[in-house]
Amino acid sequence: MSETIAAIRAELKSARFDDERLAIWRTDERAGVQASLKAFDRRIEKEAKQKADFMTRFAFESQLWTQGFQAIAGVDEVGRGPLAGPVVAAAVSLPPDFDCYGVIDSKQLSEKVRDELVTAIKEKAVAYGVGVVSAERIDEINIYEASREAMKAAVLAMDVPADYLLVDAMVVDLPLPQEKLIKGDARSNSIGAASILAKVTRDAMMVAYDEQYPGYDFGHNDGYGTKAHLAALNRLGPCPIHRRSFAPVRKLLS
């Protein structure tokens, strides 16, 4: 008796079968089986491309590993644009055998995927660190310098000191060899991992701030100037984590 289409579909999704069984299924003329095989082939092709792209994004790290560097840290920040909350940076040093193929610029990923990946990043990284600079400090030194300060703090927070930095579009104020990569979070796995860690960390902080300062919807807008956020800002005025040096907030204080 032949296997049911549902059983074959389930096995194809689980990927727990050998080449001999796959060859047998390919001779099965039932439309449902052929449709399941097509879906399987598309998934395998997508995964192969994802892996190939991932390996391409290890090009900078691979070259540096061959030069003898062992703790190459990718560095990135999130939160330069919001009207409220801190700017958060992360530094992540990945091992050569790191294989979480979904790691890329956090802006390209859903919240669910970011949450899944950040757990793997923390488990498999050689080291990682996070740096946070408050809204008050941003107002003191400007957002660009605050971002650099957060990046420096993230690198210094790593348990294993970095010996080389790959930085997304900036230079970190540390006496370490480093390379500034434009759109680095989409070109380097280490920077991509840092962007994910920084984003997940900051999002969690904004959810906590939403409870502390209700009414601005920080848990959903992350402090960005959405229409609803601007309306709340005009209605309630700035709260302690609003950036007073940013125009929409400064206007209310003048």
In this predicted structure, what is the pLDDT of residue 235? 96
pLDDT in tens, 107-128: 888 999 999 999 999 999 999 9
DSSP letter for each residue of 86-103: -EEEEEEE--TT---TT-
Does pLDDT of 61 surpass 90? Answer: yes
Q: What is the pLDDT of residues 184-239, one digit of tens each?
A: 989 999 999 999 999 999 999 999 999 999 999 999 999 999 999 999 999 999 99
Closest CA to 83 of 254, 212, 234, 185: 234
Cα distance between residue 196 and residue 117, in whole Å? 8
pLDDT attached to residue 209: 98
Q: What is the mean pLDDT of the segment spanning 56-66?
A: 96
Cβ-contact 235, 89 below 8 angstroms: no
Query: Is residue 52 pLDDT above 70, yes or no?
Result: yes
Following DSSP, what letter does each residue of 57-76 receive, concatenated? TTHHHHHHHHTT---EEEEE
Q: Is 128 helix (H, G, I), strand (E, B) or coil?
A: strand
**pLDDT for res 180:** 97
Q: What pLDDT does 16 receive?
A: 76
> What pLDDT does residue 101 have?
86
| Residue 53 tokens, joined | 């792209």
Tell me the backbone φ, ψ of residue 167, rounded to 5 degrees: -120, 135
- How much is the pLDDT for 192? 95
| Residue 219 phi, psi dihedral angles, 5° rounding | -65, -20
pTM for the whole structure:
0.85
The residue among 23 and 164 whose pLDDT is bigger is: 164
**CA distance linking residue 209 with residue 215, whole number of Å:** 11
